[in-house]
A = this chain, B = another copy of it.
Amino acid sequence: MTTYHHGNLRAALIETATELASARGPDGVVLREVARLAGVSHNAAYRHFADREELLAEVAAIGQQRLAAAMRRRLAGVHVTDPAARATARLRETGRAYVLFALDQPGLFRAAFSTAPAPCEDADPYAVLLAALDDLVAVGLLEADHRDAAAVTCWSAVHGFAELHLAGPLQATPRRERTRQLEQLLDTLQGGLIAS
């Protein structure tokens, strides 16, 4: 009962491309192979995307979406009641979640930042970070006009950490050592950002 028209090819292509990206990184998203896996001829994709880049942008959006979701999920697991301690713990967890996602889903993570993502609601890991920093401001641990710069600093640190351990020169670091390094990075960030 396969019709000539696929019915929902666009979505199927994005999903297949996302799987390829997860398995092999952004360069693994090969237009012709995506089409093959979707059971459709090469060039079918051109009815839905201007070029390979546009498909990759869709994958990037999904990557950022999943990253943001993973961060929110982990944040939900923070059970600390004291407001100040809670805000601090949540900031740390934000960074931890970012790095853990990158290490757990290297292909998708790299794809997420290999090109400008397609516009997409709910897809902003940056928003999660800003929210965590806003909590810190709310409990008086961070000056309000330091928030934006703090965001860039935090993001840079965890992003660089992920990049260096993923494809960079720190690739070979054993897992235990890596988590130790991450915790110390979070310590340093916390110490540098939070006045108390």
Chain A residues within 8 Å of B, Cβ to Cβ? 113-114, 116, 126, 146, 149-150, 152-153, 155-164, 167-170, 180-181, 184-185, 187-193
Contacts and interface: CB of A to CB of B under 8 A. Distances in A.
Given A187-B192, A189-B188, A193-B192, A159 B152 contact: no
Question: Which secondary structure dominates chain A's binding surface?
Answer: helix
B113 A185 contact: no
Contact of A149 (B114, B150, B181, B192): B181
Give the number of times this chain occurs in the complex, counting copies: 2
A150 B191 CA distance: 13
Contacts of A192: 187-193
Nearest to A27: B27
B169 A126 contact: yes
Contact of A163 (B163, B184, B185): B163
B163 A152 contact: no
A169 B113 CA distance: 8
Contact of A188 (B116, B150, B159): B150
A195 to B, nearest CB: 9
A129 to B, nearest CB: 12
